[in-house]
Structure 1
Amino acid sequence: MFLTDNKLQYPVRVEKPNPLFARALQQAIGGVEGEIRVAMQYFFQACGARGDTRFRDLLMNTAAEELGHIEMLATAVALNLEGAPLTMQEEGAQDAAVGAVMGGMNLKNMLSAGLSAMPVDSDGVPFDMSHIYASGNVAADMVANIAAESTGRTLAVRLWEMTDDPGMKDMLSYLIARDTMHQNQFMAALEDLGGAKEVFPIPNSFPQSDEAQSFSYAFLGFQSDGSDPAPGRWSEGTSPDGKGSFASQPMQALGEKPDLGKARPGSGAQSDQM
């Protein structure tokens, strides 16, 4: 169940409408780093959460918050588009649309949405849900969420740098702060699950005795001259999960050249393939 009081989660104001910035804001709505992505990701993770019900609560509350962020950004897009010509017949509108693409705005926002936001990215490409990660593994989902919030915060910072509008900077500063919280809350959730030594490798339910353990903590180099890869924390010392020690080595081909045999008759292959 979802409830609304028809008020924005945080104030949204635009002092000087900017159609180009409206287009940029669309990336925060429907881009792969955007709010539709994280809202749906946390929602489906919550719907499929099993075990400790606190994690479902964490995810569903955050999904609801992200829906509010979509509402804020959609409002910001509409307010910024108020500076665009309302019809193609207005003086100068034809030149703006054809020559300058109406100051950089995406024409879809006018032609398909009447100067409103859409579930698309900054190029007008609809978000297709292909970047929704809901694995059914709570630890894997938390790791995916940290990455999602990190890229989302990076985008919000870039948008903050793009605008001089005080209202837009204020709204984005709020969204950046919430991304800070969300990164930390998902890292805290991993700690609550036991931290790196309990959580990793994911899934921790699979016995490592059944994996090829000689490769479990080996950093493999693929330099053409056979030299060792550049050293780093990932190639020496105890692994973060505490279950192995890193080592570094050049990789050598362990398999044979593949031979698939003859093509099947009727497969459409050339006769000399059969």
Structure 2
Amino acid sequence: MFFHENSLQYEVEVEQPNPYFAKMLQQAIGGAEGEMRVALQYMFQAFAVPQEKQEYRNLLMETAVEELGHIEMLATAVTKNLEGARDEQIEDAREDPVIAAMLDGGQPRQALSAGLHAMPVDSNGVPFSGGYVVASGNLAADMYANVMAESTGRLLATRLYEITDDPGMEHMLEYLIARDTMHQNQWHAALETMDDHIPVPASFPQEKENQDVNYQFMSTFKEEHSNPRQRWTEGESIDGKSEFSYGRQPGIDTADIEEMIDEMYNEAN
């Protein structure tokens, strides 16, 4: 169940509307690094959490709803960056500098399809894809995915911050960047509360793995290279269950596929 309060989670002010920046803000709404992605990711992850792990469901769902508030903030920012065009000017788009800038900037749909408002698309106008959402049903795997999602989201927000010189937009982005910091930390903290979560899934019996390569860094250079002696090629493994080693991909003879080809009936006769 959700409730909506008719106010923004954080203030959004724009001193100098900028249609180009509105276009770039769309990436933070409907892009692969955007708020639609994390809101739906955390929500669908929460749906899969069993009752006995209610604390994780609460963590995920509360964060998902917070991210919905971020979408609302960014959509408001897009609209405020597009303000200034009157209805009669929309009819004659090229006479209005705001709409003309959008047309020249490659995002005419913000005028033509959305009437100078945000859309569920990225900065190139590509519709949001549910394929961005990671919800595996495995809590540990999902938490790692969430760290990545918040890392790339924070990276995007910092790049947007460097692009704008509008004090209101900087103020909003400072808030969003700070929340990305917290969210990265909370997902790491959640991982720390889980026993024996490396590798994912930890419940699969490791004795069934190929024991010759399960802790081996595998070189794929054609010519043989010596062990570079890095943290991931020697010493204790991260899960503490073995030692890293260095080797080469095994390589096998060319597969014999003639019989399979015959069974596909590819020949004309």
Instruction: Tell me the TM-score normalized by structure 1.
Output: 0.91
**SS, match of residue 269 in structure 1:** coil
**SS, match of residue 215 in structure 1:** coil
RMSD: 2.0
The equivalent residue for 1:258 is 255
1:189-212: CA deviations, max 9, x gaps?
Answer: 000113xxx110111101111111
The structure-2 alpha-carbon separation of the partners of 1:178 and 1:101, relative to structure 1 and needing over 3 Å to count, comes to closer
Pick the aligned partner of 1:241 from 232, 239, 242.
239
The equivalent residue for 1:183 is 184
Number of positions where the alignment pairs a residue of Structure 1 with one of Structure 2: 265
Structure 1 regions of 5+ residues with no counterpart?
none
8 A contact 1:10–1:72 mirrored in 2: yes
Partner Cα separation in structure 2 for residue 91 and residue 68 of structure 1: 34
**SS, match of residue 145 in structure 2:** helix
**SS, match of residue 234 in structure 1:** coil
Task: Tell me by how many angstroms 1:101 deviates.
Answer: 4.8
The equivalent residue for 1:87 is 90
Point out the more displaced range, 198-207 or 14-23.
198-207
Structure 2 regions of 5+ residues with no counterpart?
none
Partner Cα separation in structure 2 for residue 130 and residue 148 of structure 1: 13
What one-letter code is carried by the residue in structure 1 that aligns with 2:38? V
8 A contact 2:49–2:56 mirrored in 1: yes
8 A contact 1:222–1:229 mirrored in 2: no
The equivalent residue for 2:151 is 150
Structure 2 residue 62 is the aligned partner of structure 1 residue 61: yes
Instruction: Tell me the TM-score normalized by structure 2.
Output: 0.92
Task: Tell me by how many angstroms 1:248 deviates.
Answer: 1.0
**SS, match of residue 53 in structure 1:** helix
8 A contact 2:23–2:107 mirrored in 1: yes
8 A contact 1:236–1:248 mirrored in 2: yes
The structure-2 alpha-carbon separation of the partners of 1:169 and 1:69, relative to structure 1 and needing over 3 Å to count, comes to same
The structure-2 alpha-carbon separation of the partners of 1:55 and 1:236, relative to structure 1 and needing over 3 Å to count, comes to same
8 A contact 1:19–1:105 mirrored in 2: no
The structure-2 alpha-carbon separation of the partners of 1:233 and 1:84, relative to structure 1 and needing over 3 Å to count, comes to farther
**SS, match of residue 92 in structure 2:** coil
1:161-215: CA deviations, max 9, x gaps?
Answer: 0000000000000000000000000000000113xxx110111101111111211
Point out the more displaced range, 102-111 or 176-185.
102-111
Partner Cα separation in structure 2 for residue 236 and residue 190 of structure 1: 25
Task: Tell me by how many angstroms 1:83 deviates.
Answer: 4.3
The structure-2 alpha-carbon separation of the partners of 1:94 and 1:185, relative to structure 1 and needing over 3 Å to count, comes to closer
**SS, match of residue 145 in structure 1:** helix
What one-letter code is carried by the residue in structure 2 that aligns with 1:87? I
8 A contact 2:85–2:98 mirrored in 1: no
Task: Tell me by how many angstroms 1:237 deviates.
Answer: 0.9
Partner Cα separation in structure 2 for residue 91 and residue 260 of structure 1: 62
Pick the aligned partner of 1:202 from 194, 200, 203.
200
Task: Tell me by how many angstroms 1:256 deviates.
Answer: 2.7
Residue identity (%): 52
1:115-161: CA deviations, max 9, x gaps?
Answer: 00000000000012001111111111000000000000000000000
Task: Tell me by how many angstroms 1:259 deviates.
Answer: 1.4
